[in-house]
Amino acid sequence: MARQLHLNLFIHARGHHEAAWRHPAASPLALTDIRYYSDLAQRAEAGLFDSIFLADQLALGPDVAHAPRMWLEPITVLAALSGATSRIGLIATCSTTYTEPYNLARQYASLDHMSRGRVGWNIVTSWLATAAANYGDAGQLSHADRYARAEEYMQVVTGLWDSWADDAVVDDRASGLYAHADRIRRIDHAGPHYKVAGPLNMPRGPQGRPVFVQAGSSETGKRFAARHAEAVFTAQMEKATARDFYAELKALAAAEGRDPDQVLILPGLSPVIAATEAEAERLSRELNDLSDPEVGRSRLSGRFGGHDFSHLPLDRPLSPEDFPDPATVEAARSRTEVIIGLVRREKPTLRQLLGYLAGARGHYVTTGTPERIADLIEDWFTDGAADGFNVMPPVLPSMLDVFVEQVVPLLQKRGLFRTAYEANTLRGHYGLSRPPGF
C-alpha cells in the first residue's frame, strides 16, 4: 500500500493568528462554549482528518486584555467530543510536571474506553514560570529537571496502563467470574520523584495505551521523542530544516531500537488560502493589520522566559545578539532556537518578526491558492520533510472549511490522502502498532 499522508487539526482559540478573534469570519461562539469545539471536530471528521489536537496552558496569559487565548480544560473537552464524533482521533495535552501519574493514567484510560480507542496524549513538560506559581512551586523547574521527571513519569504511566492483561476481564455472569485477578498486577514503582503501587483501577483500553504525542525539538526533547513519541508535532519555518529534523529524529528512534515508521513527524502548517495569490495575500495583510505589536512583544518575552525586549525598536533589523542564549532559557527552548534561527537567516526587523509569529507562533505560515498549498504538502511529504501536517488554520472555522473543501480533494486525487476512514482507532489511522500486554 502506498504511503498515506496524515492530517491533524490543531484547535486553538478562534484561529492560530493572534488577531483571529477579531476577524469577521471567526466563529461567534464563546471560547467556553462546547459547541465550538464539537462543531470544529465534526468538520474535521467530515474532511477525514486523522485527529484533532488541543493544547493547554496552566496560567493566564499577561496579554488577556487584547489577545484571548482561553480554552476549556482539554481532557474534559475530549470527554464531550468522544460522544460528538465517531471516527476522528482525539488528542489532548497534559503536563507531566503538575499532574500525578495515577490520575493521568486513569483519565486517559477512561477516554480511550469512552471513545472506543481514539485517544492520544500530548506529553508536555510545563515551562511557564506563572504555571509554577499556580502549583505551589517556589521556583520554575529547570529544563533538565522537567525532562528527568518526565522520563520517570513515562515508566509509571506505561506500567499502569499495562497493569491489566488484555484477557483479564471475563465478565461471565453465569459462573460469577468478572476478572482473572492473576492477570492484574501491581507496578510497585519507587523512584526519585514518584512512588506508585498500582495497579490501575481500570481495565486496559482498546488501544492498550493512548497514542503518545510530543512536541519538543530541543536536544533533550528530541531524545525524549525518540524513546517515547509515536507522533511528533514540530515547528519548522522552512523545508530544509524540516528535512534535517525528520532525518535526525528517525535516526534517533532507530538508535533506540524502534521502527522509524512508528514515529510520525507532523510539522505545523498555517495556510491562508484563497482563489488567487493576490486574494490570499490580501487576507494575510488584513489579519496582520488587526494585530497589536505590543501583544507580540509580550508573547516573545514569554517564549524567552520573561526576557525584556522593550528596548528594541520595531524597525531595526535584528541579530541573534538581541536574544538570550537558548541554552540559558528554562522555558520552551526548542521554540527559542527556531526563532533565533529565523533571525540569523533573514535578519528581520522586530516588527516583521512579530508579524510572522502572530500567524502561528513559529510554525510554517504561508499564503496561496488551494493548488499551491496542495503542492507544498506533497513536496514536503514526498521529499523527506514530513509524514503529514498539524494543520493550524489562521481563522476558525472559515479557513478550515476552505482546506477541507478545496485542498483535501486535491490531495485525494493525487493518491496521497484517504477517501474514507479505513480504521476505527487513532492507532489505526496513524498506522501504529498496538502495544502488547503481558
Annotated binding-site positions for FMN: 56, 93, 143, 147, 217-218
Dihedral of the alpha carbons of 333, 334, 335, 338, in degrees to the nearest 10: 120
Distance, CA of 67 to CA of 10 (rounded, Å): 18
Dig out the grid coordinates for 299 from the structure.
Answer: 508573547
**C-alpha–C-alpha distance, residues 308 and 393, integer Å:** 30
Burial 149-167 (b: 16+ CB within 10 A, else e): bbbebbebbbbbbbbbbee
- Report the alpha-carbon distance of residue 379 to residue 242 in Å, rounded: 12
Of 265, 215, 261, nearest in space to 244 by CA: 265
Whole-angstrom Cα distance, residue 322 to residue 339? 12
Closest by Cα among 267, 268, 349 to 312:
349
Euclidean distance between CA atoms 170 and 355, whole angstroms: 58
Amino acid of residue 361? R
Long-range pairs for 256-259 at CB < 8 Å and ≥24 separation? 256/226, 256/227, 258/226, 258/227
Q: Cell 528517525 identifies what position?
A: 250
Q: How far apart are CA 177 and CA 179, in angstroms?
A: 6
393 in Cβ contact with 15 (< 8 Å): yes
**Phi, psi of 98, deg, nearest 5:** -125, 25
Q: How far is CA 197 from CA 121, 125, 322, in A?
A: 22, 23, 49
Cell matching residue 127: 515551562
Mark the binding-site residues, compressed into ranges: 56, 93, 143, 147, 217-218
Write out the three cell numbers for 120.
Answer: 492520544
Question: How far from chain centre, in Å, is Cα 28?
Answer: 25
Determine contact, residues 267/236, Cβ cutoff 8 Å.
yes
In whole angstroms, give the CA distance from residue 117 to residue 111: 8
Q: Which amino acid is at 212?
A: F
Please state, in angstroms and as integers, the Cα–Cα distance from residue 341 to each residue in 153, 183, 209, 217, 265, following that order: 32, 52, 36, 13, 20
